[in-house]
Amino acid sequence: MSLLTNDLIIRIKNGYMAKRDNIEARWSKINEGVVELLKISGFIKSYEVIDENGKKRLNIGLLYIDNDPAVREVKLLSKPGRRIYRKHKEIKSVLGGLGVAILSTPKGLMTDTQAKDAQVGGEALFEIW
C-alpha cells in the first residue's frame, strides 16, 4: 500500500471525527479505486476528481446517517515496511459483515466479499467499519 493510500484513509477518518461534510485528498489511480469501492460499500456519499492545471485531486463527500458518521473505525493493515498478503481462503469478513476489507488483487482493487467470490487473494490494504 502506498503512503498516498494511507494518507487518504486517515484523512477520511479524521474528516468524520471533525464532522466535516467534504474532504480533499491527492489523486492517484489506486486512491480513486479505493474511494469508488467505499462509495459502493456505503462509507462515503460521493467523490469527484478535480483537475486544476494538470494537477488532480479528489473531493470526497462524507456520509452521515442520523448525524452519526458512516465510518466508526479504520484499521490499516499493509504498510510500506510490512506488507500483508492473504490467500482467498484466508479472507475473513470484517465484524461479521458490518465492515469491509479492501484488497489489492491481480484483478484490481476488490472488497473482501468480491475477492472471496472471485477466489482471488492479494494484499490486504485496510479494514473499515
CATH (domain of 69):
3.30.1490.10
CA distance 93 to 6: 21
pLDDT tens, per residue, the chain with 129 residues: 568 899 999 999 999 999 999 999 999 999 999 999 999 999 999 999 999 999 999 999 999 999 999 999 999 999 888 999 999 999 999 998 899 999 999 999 999 999 999 999 999 999 999
- What integer pLDDT is reported at residue 3 of this predicted model? 80
Closest to 73 (Cα-Cα) out of 1, 125, 14 = 14
Which residues, listed in sequence order, are joined to residue 100 by a DSSP beta bridge? Answer: 128
Place of cell 473499515: 128
Cell numbers for 64: 452521515
Retrieve residue 5's grid coordinates.
493510500
Cα separation, 68 vs 105, whole angstroms: 32
Measured distance CA(78)–CA(69) in Å, rounded:
24
- pLDDT for the residue 1: 57
Say how many C-beta atoms besides its own lie within 10 A of residue 36's C-beta.
13
**Domain that includes residue 20, residue range:** 3-128
Total domains, the chain: 1
